[in-house]
Structure 1
Amino acid sequence: MSVSRRWWWLAALGLVVSGCRTTGSAARADGQGTPPKQEIQFDAVTVTADLELDKLNDEELFAGGTSAFAANDFKQAARYFGRLADFHPDSQHRRAALYNAGLAHQRLKEWEEAWHRFSELADPAKGTGDALDASFRVAETQYHLERYDEAVELLGVIANRQDLPVNKRLEAQVQQGICQLEAGRSEEAEKTLRKSISTYEGLADKDEVDDYFPAQAHFFIGEIYRLHYDDVKLDPAKGSDKLAEDLNYKAELLLSAQGHYLRSIRVGNGYWATAAGAQIGALYENLYQHMVNSPAPSELDAAEAQVYRQELRKKIRVLLTKSISIYERTLETAERIGSQSAFVDRTRESLAKVKALLLADAEGEPDADSHPAPPATDAKPHS
């Protein structure tokens, strides 16, 4: 942290310094050659950790921090703004310096330091302007610090404020639901996210709200069902009836997750539309991996197992075809809106992989008793 700190140095016997005071006499005290006792006293010294900035006033510090931030030198920006905030409490720039220092630490992913700066400004219950913005930033730093319950509580305060515009309340509610999900409280998260969507759907003028937040809410409800999907394990050792039951249930959860991802896409926000499309494709790819790597139920004889694998391959081809279609549509959407994100890169890799798998199947590779060879992309399946 670029906050200047103070140390009070205590004198130690035997240190050699200039300007010390001594008491006693140079004469021998006992006539036996024993030197007299001496008392050494030091004045308290304040030492600052950043002497280079010590000579700058608040205007110069603010100008230096602003220049560094504009140049993306966030380490220097945090240093200048932090110095101003700590050593110039009466400066007209102090509040801006606190906020900007928090932003600089945030860009550096120094979450604890960012939290410290934003916390001094934040007022989730009554704040407006930078006090409200800082409250959202505090919640974001708590999220990254995995203090989910604290973030949930803070965001709940903002979401319940009737004096705020609906866009701010909706933003707080969606972020609250995400933090509940990260805290392992999926049922609460789903209720909170559905409530935010109901608020959005009930608006006469949806332009009051940034489409980012309802799209994000639909996406994370999809994530809740994807997590439920992941929890269902396909175990052939339990027998064909149980395997079929679990497979059907897993497919139902896939369709539920897909439904919410599609709703996210329909909201029309480019970022979340791309992310949702990537997740749908990944779900089909994941189900394919489960099915192709699952051995036949143990109670089937050789002939029955052969039929089982043939039927399974038909379903696998359908899954691969669906996955390709969704990946291609996702990339078309991303290209149309000019979106560039990790989701877009992952979608391109996954599309190449799934096409290679489908081509191998069409050429008769793998056969009924083997698994498909990995594609040249070396991309790993998404869970």
Structure 2
Amino acid sequence: MVVSPYSDTELAAEFERARALLLADKAREAAALFDRLVRLSPDGEVAPPSLFNSGLAHEALGDRALGAERYREVLRRFPDHAVARGARFRLARAAAALERWPELVEVARALLALEDLSVLEAVEARGALALGLVEQDLVDEAARHVALARDLIEAHRLGESGKPPLELAQVSFALGEVRRRRSEAITFVPVPANFGEALERRCQGLLDAQSAYTEAMRSLDAHWSAMAGYRIGRLYQQLHRDVMQVPPPRSADTPRKKQLFEGAMRLRYRVLLEKGQKMLAGTVGLGERTGEASSWVLRARDAQREIELALADEQAALAKLPFTEAELSAALDALKGEAPRKP
């Protein structure tokens, strides 16, 4: 038994003081005071809201993991308290940010089991469930929940004018993930019977995924924008990697023809690296402007360096070939079935 040296009235006054600190953006002082209140009165009236507000304060300090721990404690100890509902939504958001996909699925399913969800809450829960599923390679099930969320969005005309609600960003990002995974399932080794058609489907899938990620950016939230920007940059980088694995055709039966094929491919698909580099540079710049320092910005910075090295390698490889760029352009025309251009 914990015996508090304070009366209920004094504890309530301390809670209000902590709440005022939190509202005044003094998260560190507020977090310490809320945590102290939970220790002083672990089963008292101030304990559930103190735990919840402690989670908010720790998140404001950038410690999402500790914030998530507080929300879990609310749900474990006070599942029927009024703050439990908010704790469940905050835990879902923290799990998504921390990339704890199994937990995100579990929390999202619990949210969908609630009977009094508003439209935006239902959209958020469906988006969270879809994201947790797709990141665990359950693409078809994720696509189903994305579709249900989008049906709600369209039926209620959410986000049609101005900045869309933040809840829509997660749905758009999950849609981008579904489209990305389906697109990248189309590979080119062994070479498909109809390479041109397969490449067209892969590229269309890339553009569809990019469209969904771009829609997520409309929320103007730095975290979702960083996630989406990184994914778009990687889309182009991965397509370049896959397409450059295509072996020379049978008609390239001499060393010279093989070199010509290699050079034409490098020249043609270098633009994919350039597009990816541009998007990743924008994502890194976003992190610097907004202070967003999540793992997604760090990944974008690493991928940007990878692309810079890849572009340098491409340039060096082209320089070693015994052809001018004009000759390689003519070879490109031949690959596309067009009449070669004159140098």
Q: Does the TM-score normalized on the shorter chain lie above 0.5? A: yes
What is aligned with 2:39?
83
Partner of 2:235: 283
Give the counterpart of 1:174 among 106, 110, 127: 127
- Alignment partner of 1:187 is 2:140: yes
Instruction: Look up the SS of the partner of 1:109 in the other structure.
Output: helix
What is residue 118 of structure 1 aligned with on the other side?
A: 75
Contact conserved, 1:149 with 1:183, CA < 8 A, in 2? no
Instruction: Please tell me the residue identity of whatever aligns with 1:63.
Output: E
Shift in CA distance, 330/168, structure 1 to aligned 2, threshold 3 Å: same
For 2:236 and 2:299, the matched residues in 1 are separated by 15
Range 60-69 or range 272-281, more displaced: 60-69
Single out whichever of 131-140 and 170-179 deviates more from structure 2: 131-140
**Structure 2: distance between partners of 1:101 and 1:329:** 34
Counterpart of 2:268 in structure 1 is 315
Contact kept in structure 2, 1:84 and 1:97, CA below 8 Å? no
Q: Is the 8 A contact 1:62 1:80 kept in 2?
A: no
- 2:102 is matched with which residue? 146
Give the Cα separation in 1 of the matches to 2:287 and 2:71: 35
TM superposition shift of 1:97: 2.5
| SS of residue matched to 1:161 | coil
How far apart are the structure 2 equivalents of 1:319 and 1:102? 43
Give 1:212 shift.
1.7
User: Does the 8 Å CA contact 2:237/2:272 hold for their aligned counterparts?
Assistant: yes
Q: Give the percent of matched residue pairs that are identical in Structure 1 and Structure 2.
A: 21
Any gaps of 5 or more consecutive residues in structure 2? Answer: 323-343
| 2:182 aligns with one of 205, 209, 228 | 228
Relative distance call for 1:251 and 1:171 in structure 2 (3 A) is: same
Q: CA deviation at 1:284?
A: 0.8
1:243-272 C-alpha deviation (Å, 9 max, x unpaired): 666555443432332232233334554543
1:294-343 Cα distance to aligned partner (Å, 9 max, x none): 654689533443333123112321212322343455567x3897463444
Match of 2:341 in 1: none
Q: Hey, what does 1:263 align to over in structure 2?
A: 215
Deviation, structure 1 residue 232: 4.2
Structure (1 or 2) with the larger CA radius of gyration: 1
Does the 8 A contact of 2:109 with 2:125 survive in 1? no
- Work out whether residues 151 and 179 of structure 1, in 8 Å CA contact, stay in contact via their aligned partners in 2: no
Q: Which amino acid aligns with 2:209?
A: A
Q: Give the distance between the partners of 1:317 and 1:193, measured in 2 at CA.
A: 34
Structure 2 counterpart of 1:156, one-letter code: L
Match of 1:32 in 2: none
Counterpart for residue 253 of structure 2: 301
1:11-22 correspondence runs (5 A): none
Q: CA-to-partner distance for each residue in 1:78-117, whole Å, 9 max, x for gaps? A: 752432443x43x4x2332342355578747255664132
Alignment of 1:94 onto 2:47: yes
Identify, as 1 or 2, the structure richer in helix. 2
Aligned residues: 306
Deviations 1:144-172 (A, max 9, x none): 483455323212124x636x3x3333222
Contact 2:55–2:71 under 8 Å retained in 1: yes
What amino acid sits opposite 2:75 in the alignment? F
Alignment correspondent of 2:170: 216
Amino acid at match of 1:226: R
Aligned partners of 2:52 and 2:275: how far apart in 1? 47
Compared CA separation, residues 367 and 292, structure 1 to 2 (3 A): farther
Q: Distance in 2 between matches of 1:262 and 1:102?
A: 31
Instruction: Flag structure 1 segments of 5+ consecutive residues without an equivalent.
Output: 1-5, 7-47, 370-383
Q: 2: distance between equivalents of 1:142 and 1:273?
A: 18
What is the TM-score normalised by the length of structure 2? 0.67
C-alpha distance in structure 2 between counterparts of 1:266 and 1:78, whole Å: 35
Deviation at 1:222, TM superposition (A): 0.8
Counterpart AA for 2:106: E
Which one-letter code corresponds to 2:72 in the other structure?
A: W
SS of structure 2 residue aligned to 1:301? coil
Q: 1:199 aligns with which of 145, 152, 159?
A: 152
Q: Distance in 1 between matches of 2:153 and 2:173?
A: 15
Q: Does 1:161 align with 2:113?
A: no
Between the aligned partners of 1:322 and 1:180, the Cα distance in structure 2 is 29
* Equivalent position of 2:225 in the other structure: 273
Once the two structures are TM-superposed, the CA of residue 133 in structure 1 deviates from its matched residue by: 0.6
CA distance 1:184–1:356, change in 2 (3 Å): closer
The aligned amino acid for 1:218 is S
* Aligned residue number for residue 328 of structure 2: none
Whole-angstrom distance in 2 between the partners of 1:233 and 1:265: 28
Cα 1:321–1:153, aligned 2, differ >3 Å: closer, same or farther? closer
> Equivalent residue of 2:225, what SS?
helix
